[in-house]
Amino acid sequence: MLVRDVMTKDVHKLKPEDYVLDAVKLFKKHHVSGAPVEENGRLVGLLSERDVLQYLEVHEFGKHLVLPAPFDIIEAVLDMQAEVEEVRREFDKLKHAYIKDIMKKEVITIHPDAHVSEAADIMLEKHVNRLPVVESGKVMGIVTRSDILKSLL
């Protein structure tokens, strides 16, 4: 079976000058976890949820396992408020960050006439979840791990 037989043809594409927050909204709206980035009809990058999460600093909130004293509760609430503010500041960065600044610029692609097993091998070897399907420099679709699994049914 060929990649063209299993790929998603209706691909949501991004532009390098779009804001990352707009990409996150697109991902949520269309239930996708990544999209190719095009400029003048040519693939110039790929943005994934992982890229966005890596752009943001990861925070862990403290866990209290013992019943604290009253002043400990007040201190914990103040600490939590500070942590929430810090997370809010991180997410505010998405409003001003451009896709071109965090997208992967070196994109692994596949041709529509490649065999599905080749796409699976590339994904496993390169640790990627999706491959833009490119022919003559144009994005024709995208093939994901999910597309490959569905093809096996």
**Confidence (pTM):** 0.75
What tens digit of pLDDT does each residue of 42-56 get? 999 999 998 988 887
Q: Which domains does the chain have, with CATH numbers?
A: 3-55+96-151 (3.10.580.10)
Q: What pLDDT is attached to residue 9?
A: 94
Q: What pLDDT is attached to residue 65?
A: 42
Please determine, for residue 63, whether its predicted confidence score (pLDDT) is greater than 50. Answer: no
Please determine, for residue 58, whether its predicted confidence score (pLDDT) is greater than 80. Answer: no
What tens digit of pLDDT does each residue of 6-43 get? 999 999 999 999 999 899 999 999 999 999 999 998 99
> Which three-class secondary structure state does DSSP give residue 132?
strand
Distances (CA, A) of 28 to 31, 32, 146, 149: 5, 7, 17, 22
* Chain centre distance of CA 79: 30
What tens digit of pLDDT does each residue of 85-138 get? 776 777 777 778 899 999 999 999 999 999 999 999 999 999 999 999 999 889
Please determine, for residue 83, whether its predicted confidence score (pLDDT) is greater than 80. Answer: no
> Which three-class secondary structure state does DSSP give residue 134?
strand
Closest CA to 103 of 57, 55, 41: 55
Name the more confident of 72 and 115.
Answer: 115
Would you place residue 71 in the very low, low, confident or very high pLDDT band (cuts 50, 70, 90)? Answer: low
CA angle 94–31–144, rounded 5-degree value: 105
